[in-house]
Amino acid sequence: MSDKTRMVPLPSKAIVPERDALERPILEVSRLGINFGGLVAVEDFNIAVGRTEICGLIGPNGAGKTTIFNLLTKVYQPTSGAILLDGQDTASMNTVQVNQAGIARTFQNIRLFPSLSVEDNVKIGLHNQVRYPLITGVFRLPGFFRAERQAKDQAMELLSIFDMTDLASKKAGSLPYGAQRRLEFLRALATNPKLLLLDEPAAGMNPSETEELMASIKKIRDRFQIAIMLIEHDMRLVMGICEGIAVINYGKIIAKGTASEIQDNPEVIEAYLGKKKE
Amino acid sequence: MLTYGLVIAAYIILRILLAGGHVSSALQGQLVPITAYIVMAVSLNLTVGVLGELSLGHAGFMSVGAFTGVITSASLTSSVPEPALRLLFALIAGGIAAGLFGFLIGIPVLRLHGDYLAIVTLAFGEIIKNVVNTLYVGIGQSGLKIGMTSGNALNLGEGGKVILNGPMGAIGVQKISSFTAGFILILVTLFIILNLIDSRAGRAIMAVRDNKIAAESVGISVWRYRMTAFVTSAALAGAAGALYALNYSTVIARKFDFNTSILVLVFVVLGGMGNIRGSIIAATVLTILPEVLRAFNNVRMLIYAVILILVMLATNNVRLRAWFQRIRPGNGKTPVISGGGDGHE
């Protein structure tokens, strides 16, 4: 299905889906890199992501995929390179400011607020969307009940995307694994991002759940008109919904392109399967 | 709602008993301290249970509030003759001063987590105690004077009065605290803390407790909400301190030492971390208990310790907890928030 998308080159030689080519990419990363001590974890990472693109980041274990997510969200400060979000340089921002500027993420090892309810988890995602001063909350001033109602309505609407409204009062930590992943996805979506980073969204899901997840990711992209970048090892998911794919190995991009271009690339095959014996 | 009801009911019952003369004079003397300790326990629960950080210096904030309250009350004696109103001013001043100290101490302390944070709060608690021990404050014709050498060095002049006399503490304090004032302070504390927990800021505080990295990833400023909880907690402890101090004619800084911090922490842990109602009950019972055990004389504190251990064992018993779960009313919203176990990563 993704083969219907045509990737077109931008003046910067980066490629984005044809429909996004007229607008500035939501994310432009150039020469991004980080060293931990002497270890070069990511080096010379360049990518552009279209405004409504679903793109994939794949590569063997330890290639540096999650490190790239951590760089984009400023969990780590890059040692080199620039990240432009919607044309805005994020160099001086911290994790909180990057989220407010429009990048939300999920985590490879799920990080929910386990002792709080499902509803509260989503409401915490809405923290900067439905705002009121501390004093209004403590003294129940006018505006408190209206804002809380609004937060509840929005939380329920988000939960309905994955049919989770009846789980609203359950403790997040008590949910089954798949539901926890979906809740984390919704919590990230609640922050009203322009770019959503999903770290292994299908991990631990069975084939039919993965199928559903693929449909949901596309549905969410269409409905919210956002870009989604995902790390995933499930190739059916990656090849099925990612329009542009970047393959990483040893912290460097070894191939970029559409699903079919990637599949035939000898370097990619080598990275995953090893060198052919002569 | 149940928590408010519990406090109001307890107050009414005690009022009736007091009117009928059924309360022993020893217990009567404990009424104001009990209310102060309840406020201390509930406010510490905000830091320990809701924010998930162990503070061992809560008595330090109580101390700041206590002496600010005493000084405020003493300097307003002539301008505000009405004791209830003066007490109100003293409580507010104690709360503001302790909140300010909470903010200042929070700047270095809240950069830390877990054990390290606990140790540094302990140190600040001791620092406050020792600084107050060396302070001399007096009021004279030229207003309030502060010194660090001796009471006479303040040069208060004719009609001057030393309020705080270094290691001797505050002497000749007018006892203006009352059980009713303590009761109102408990209600105000409950109102502030329960509303805070059930609001946008409260969710943010608990999000920070549960997972700091995830909280940052959804745009919550960790520093800001940790500080909010810490300062609120300190300010309420300050008000409790003012209430406590104005119940005695002499107040010394050594009263608000490490032991008091630990005592309040015991109330919180025994009542259940994050469980506001539990803090109230634990503070009440454990303040009365030593009085009740007075009959046992020499072995009094031994029995006290044994009872503490037994209660701890009982409340951690799986079967007993399951039984409590069963008798708890349905799905009603209880202010019970489980402690943040895996918060700090």
* Mean pLDDT, rounded, of chain B: 89
Percentage of residues in chain A having pLDDT higher than 90: 77
Tokens of B270: 């025994």
Provide mean pLDDT across the span A181-203: 96
Contact between B156 and B145 under an 8 Å Cβ cutoff? The reply is yes
Question: pLDDT tens across B132-174, in order?
Answer: 999 999 888 778 888 888 877 787 777 788 889 888 899 888 9
Tokens 């830091």 belong to B47
Domains and CATH numbers, chain B: 2-327 (1.10.3470)
Q: For residue A147, what is the nearest residue in chain B, using CA coordinates?
A: B200
Q: Do B211 and A116 touch (CB under 8 A)?
A: no
Task: Using the predicted structure, report yes or no on whether residue B331 has a pLDDT greater than 50.
Answer: no
d(CA B65, CA B243): 9
* Banded model confidence at residue A196, pLDDT cuts 50, 70, 90: very high
Provide mean pLDDT across the span B270-283: 91
**Higher pLDDT pick, A263 / A194:** A194
* Banded model confidence at residue B329, pLDDT cuts 50, 70, 90: low
Pick from A48, A27, A34: nearest CA to A90: A27
Name the interface residues of B facing A (CB cutoff 8 Å).
192, 195-196, 199-204, 206-207, 210-211, 213-222, 228, 331, 337-342
Task: Using the predicted structure, report yes or no on whether residue B73 has a pLDDT greater than 90.
Answer: yes
Class of domain A1-102+195-278 as given by CATH: alpha beta
Instruction: Give the DSSP H/E element, type plus range, for residue A42.
Output: strand A39-49
β B136-140/B143-147 pair status: antiparallel
* Banded model confidence at residue A75, pLDDT cuts 50, 70, 90: very high
The torsion region of residue A31 among left (phi > 0), alpha (psi -120 to 50) and beta comes to left
Question: pLDDT tens across B195-229, in order?
Answer: 999 999 999 999 999 999 999 999 999 999 999 99
Contact between A7 and A258 under an 8 Å Cβ cutoff? The reply is yes
Amino acid letter, residue A170: K
β A88-89/A80-85 pair status: antiparallel
Q: Do B213 and A120 touch (CB under 8 A)?
A: no
Chain centre to alpha carbon of residue A164: 21
Residue A92 phi/psi, 5-degree rounding, is -90, 5
pLDDT of residue B328: 64
Q: Is the pTM of this model over 0.95?
A: no
* Banded model confidence at residue A137, pLDDT cuts 50, 70, 90: very high
Task: Using the predicted structure, report yes or no on whether residue A8 has a pLDDT greater than 70.
Answer: yes
Q: Which segments of chain B does DSSP mark as H helices, in order? A: 2-20, 25-45, 58-75, 83-109, 114-133, 179-197, 200-210, 212-217, 222-245, 258-271, 276-292, 300-315, 318-327
Name the maximum alpha-carbon separation found in chain A. Answer: 77
Handedness of CA A222, A224, A227, A232 (dihedral sign): negative
pLDDT of residue A229: 97
pLDDT of residue B158: 74
Q: Do B192 and A190 touch (CB under 8 A)?
A: no
Provide mean pLDDT across the span B297-304: 81
Domain segments of chain A as ranges: 1-102+195-278, 116-192
How many Å lie between the alpha carbon of A183 and the closest alpha carbon of chain B? 13
Chain centre to alpha carbon of residue A99: 12
Task: Using the predicted structure, report yes or no on whether residue B342 has a pLDDT greater than 50.
Answer: no
Provide mean pLDDT across the span B89-112: 97
Tokens of B41: 């326990």
Contact between A126 and B220 under an 8 Å Cβ cutoff? The reply is no
Task: Using the predicted structure, report yes or no on whether residue A2 has a pLDDT greater than 60.
Answer: no
Task: Using the predicted structure, report yes or no on whether residue B335 has a pLDDT greater than 80.
Answer: no
CA angle A190, A196, A202 (to 5 degrees): 100
Question: Hey, is B14 helix, strand or coil?
Answer: helix
pLDDT of residue A278: 63
Task: Using the predicted structure, report yes or no on whether residue B60 has a pLDDT greater than 90.
Answer: yes
Contacts of A134 in chain B (CB under 8 A): 196, 199, 201, 228
Residues of A numbered 91-130 whose beta carbons fall under 8 angstroms of chain B's beta carbons: which are they?
94-96, 99-100, 104-105, 107, 111-116, 120, 123-125, 127-128, 130
> What do you get for the CA distance between the two ends of chain B, in Å?
35
